[in-house]
Chain A
């Protein structure tokens, strides 16, 4: 669906806003999770779950508020983004609630039901979404904050390393604890750093693209232009080494390379990026034991379960991987049905990092493919927004956010399905975790804002008195 704009000088034809399309899709996006909720209740207890009405109304209300705000403040926004996010969020809530009912998980000391919290965080996320649309009237305003964003992103990323504030949860130092809440600053840093990259690259793109020497078919940038990419690379490695966070590190570096490529249109950046991440990975793998265990668990989970030393970090990683794989296997083509699988055997982090395994087991191949396509749609709508955006900042910003989203989905789903080594990251909207859902709603809010600007028809030219004159037929 391309933007219908009239390019003649006579005037603009009002492009369809597609708000009603969005409304109909939203109705589906609310109805499907409500049915899923009913399904879980029937499968687990044989009766209609008592919270169904409340849940349905809650989700419906949040969707309605979001829709009304979009109607009012972003009339021309992409009609698919909001329903897709609502659907994923709603289904995520159902999956988390389903795992809350598991006696096996409830028997664990480190498990607490998450559905209510997640609902609250989703509401906060929608609130932030609304806030973004209401306050951020034009995304180009963010250009002004290029370097502040950089500082903010660095602070956010390094916060977990601050003693007393950072919390080391199960080996990864990616949380901070404020009051009773734990926050993953990395999720928010994802958006903030995209602002910095867009602003920076928009200004420097010509220098990076043109002032370079050709060497063996590659354009090598000048030393002084190489500074930023080296900095980002080093920072990614630092995150990896000190915060034990493979996912975030990969995400930031990947996002930077994507944006650099889009800004400069030079393939050599991609090649360099790949070489640098490969180099970094090899170096880090030499001494980071958790990376080694994850690679071992990825290469041969069942085998390493037997060879890994008893009680080691590696045996846990391998055991977890085998449980996840068997969960997917148990799902088969059609899945066991919601509430009827045993994905809770994964135990630790079943409802956060590994929630996709529950999808695999209970909804099967069909369900997983549907979910992947939903994510794929969000990503492609985001890139489409970048294509349609008229300003380079908007283009870079949109592609940065979509690229980060795509990488996150790939890294998490690929890790859980054993396509790549596992990294501890959350499936956007699906996994339990406040920071993730809030940050991703903000991300969708920004994409909607950019798409609104991109699809808004050009203002009608001011009526020209001269033109009018020529139309007058004098007798």
Chain B
């Protein structure tokens, strides 16, 4: 009976060998795939097993972590002044994943990034608790506060940039939400989130980066830039050939001006009182393709503006007809811009024509404060020449000095700006958006450019809605906060 016995022994050996091979396949070959599987709860457990690193503004954290009981997740995210900072931080929730910086820099914040490998390995040996690294932002706490307070209970957004570097200084959006109300994974958290998702005011939308609005008259500075760059206007004080009434090309519709004295008005004068006819006429003369070219140099039609949170693409239609182009040149029709985009336009002009890439993360730091990565200012494009930029500045400063933007004046500081009141809705049925873009200038160039949009100015008589009245004071406060901080 020994021969079959030996064969049985061999057979049993093969069984064990099969198990060994299968195990290698499972635990060596497929381990990564299984470990990162979306159904694998360990990923979530691991993410919240340690204190998450913080998002830092002005050297102080605006986030925190608290220990929680009763679930798989040990730590829960907390937010200081959550609603004010939500457009910057995004949220990190035990149950509902994360977004924006919390999501994009998750590796650093959880401490699982490869660049933190050395730190976590050292922590393993020294017995220290593992902790995530920090994300240091470029934001200015004072400016953010001014923007958020200025918007108050109005619906709208503010984006402020340092024109010389592209550093984002403020990014506010109202109505906002507090990410800490659904940072956990309890039933209450889930209800809170549901309430936010179904809120008709959409508090979770990041209006500063992700919402596009018709920019209205604030877009006229782009049209003016295109006119100057393409030689359509050489002297900003020379009269243009704009008739009154100006008939929109390819149509019989006359273009309305809310203000008189627009017939043959010079570019400077037209900017001061915001003549629609003059800019529509100029846009038409520049031609659609040249308008598109200039708008794109400012950042329009670019779907990849990453701050690193990606901003929605602002639009200047590339295929419309002459009439559409004329209307688009005054920021209506198909033209749509995010507040960040309009802040970029302002910043490029304030920075003598050089557009810096906007960014809001300054540094990534390891838990022991070692800097892992520093982000440097980067030039994005040059939409206008230096001389033309200075001409544009002259006109914008004129707007604040004696035009529609006087409410943005700051004593002893040169301020340039442009108002906008954008119509929207079918047949202009809805309340218009109030826009204001501006920059402040000191002897060392411009430290701040702001774009403000007030979306639905509830409680204000319709005729009183204007960029100059509603949005300009907010812009002024933000600029003042930045200037005060510089002193």
Contact surface of A with B, Cβ cutoff 8 Å: 104, 258, 261-263, 265, 302, 305, 322, 325-326, 328-333, 342, 345, 360, 364-365, 368-369, 372-373, 375-376, 379-380, 383-384, 386-387, 392, 395-396, 399, 402-403, 406-407, 409-410, 413-414, 417-419
Contact = CB atoms under 8 A, between A and B. Distances in A.
Interface stretch (B36-44, B307-315, B369-377): B36-44
Given A329-B35, A387-B6, 9 more contacts: A258-B8, A261-B8, A326-B39, A333-B27, A342-B45, A369-B23, A372-B20, A410-B19, A417-B22
A414 B34 CA distance: 18
B42 A375 contact: no
Contacts of B32: 329
Contact of A383 (B5, B18, B27, B34): B5
B28 interface: yes
A288 B194 CA distance: 42
A364 B12 CA distance: 23
B4 A261 contact: yes
12 contacts: A325-B26, A329-B30, A329-B35, A331-B31, A368-B23, A369-B23, A379-B12, A380-B9, A387-B9, A399-B8, A402-B12, A406-B16
B72 interface: yes
Contact of A414 (B1, B5, B7, B22): B22
Nearest to A398: B5
B34 A326 contact: yes
Contacts of B24: 365, 369
B15 A330 contact: no
B26 to A, nearest CB: 5
B26 A329 contact: yes
A383 B5 CA distance: 7
A406 B22 contact: no
B1 A342 contact: no
Contacts of B41: 342, 345
A418 B21 CA distance: 12
Nearest to A205: B1
Contacts of A325: 26, 34
Contacts of B39: 302, 305, 322, 326
Contact of B72 (A104, A328, A364): A104
Given A387-B2, A387-B5, A399-B8, A365 B27 contact: yes
A250 B6 CA distance: 22
Interface string B22-64: 1110111011111101011110010000000000000000000
B19 A328 contact: no
A403 B4 CA distance: 12
Contacts of A406: 12, 15-16
B16 A373 contact: yes
Contacts of A375: 16
Contacts of B22: 414, 417-419
B26 A383 contact: no
B243 interface: no
B411 interface: no
B252 interface: no
B195 interface: no
A410 B12 CA distance: 9
Contacts of A328: 23, 26-27, 31, 34
B13 interface: yes
Contacts of A261: 4, 7-8
B486 interface: no
A418 B27 CA distance: 12
Interface in B93-107: none
Contact of A330 (B12, B20, B35): B35
B34 A417 contact: no
Contacts of A419: 18-19, 22
A305 B23 CA distance: 22
Interface in B311-359: none
A369 B26 CA distance: 12
A414 B31 CA distance: 17
A47 to B, nearest CB: 14
A304 B3 CA distance: 44
Nearest to A262: B4
Contacts of A386: 5
A305 B40 CA distance: 13
Contacts of A104: 72
B42 A265 contact: no
The residue among B16, B19, B40 with the most chain A CB atoms within 10 A of its own CB is B19
B27 A376 contact: no
A375 B24 CA distance: 17
B13 A262 contact: no
A306 B23 CA distance: 25
A326 B28 CA distance: 12
Given A368-B23, A376-B16, A326 B4 contact: no
A392 B5 contact: no
Contacts of A365: 23-24, 27-28
The residue among B12, B20, B31, B39 with the most chain A CB atoms within 10 A of its own CB is B12
Contact of A332 (B1, B15, B31): B31
Contact of B40 (A326, A331, A379, A409): A326
A383 B3 CA distance: 12
Contacts of A332: 27-28, 31, 35
B487 to A, nearest CB: 52
Nearest to A364: B27
The residue among A325, A326, A399 with the most chain B CB atoms within 10 A of its own CB is A326
B1 A376 contact: no
Contacts of A392: 1
A31 B451 CA distance: 72
A64 B67 CA distance: 47
Counting from the closest, the 5 A-B pairs by CB-CB distance are A329-B34, A376-B16, A365-B27, A406-B12, A419-B22
B44 to A, nearest CB: 10
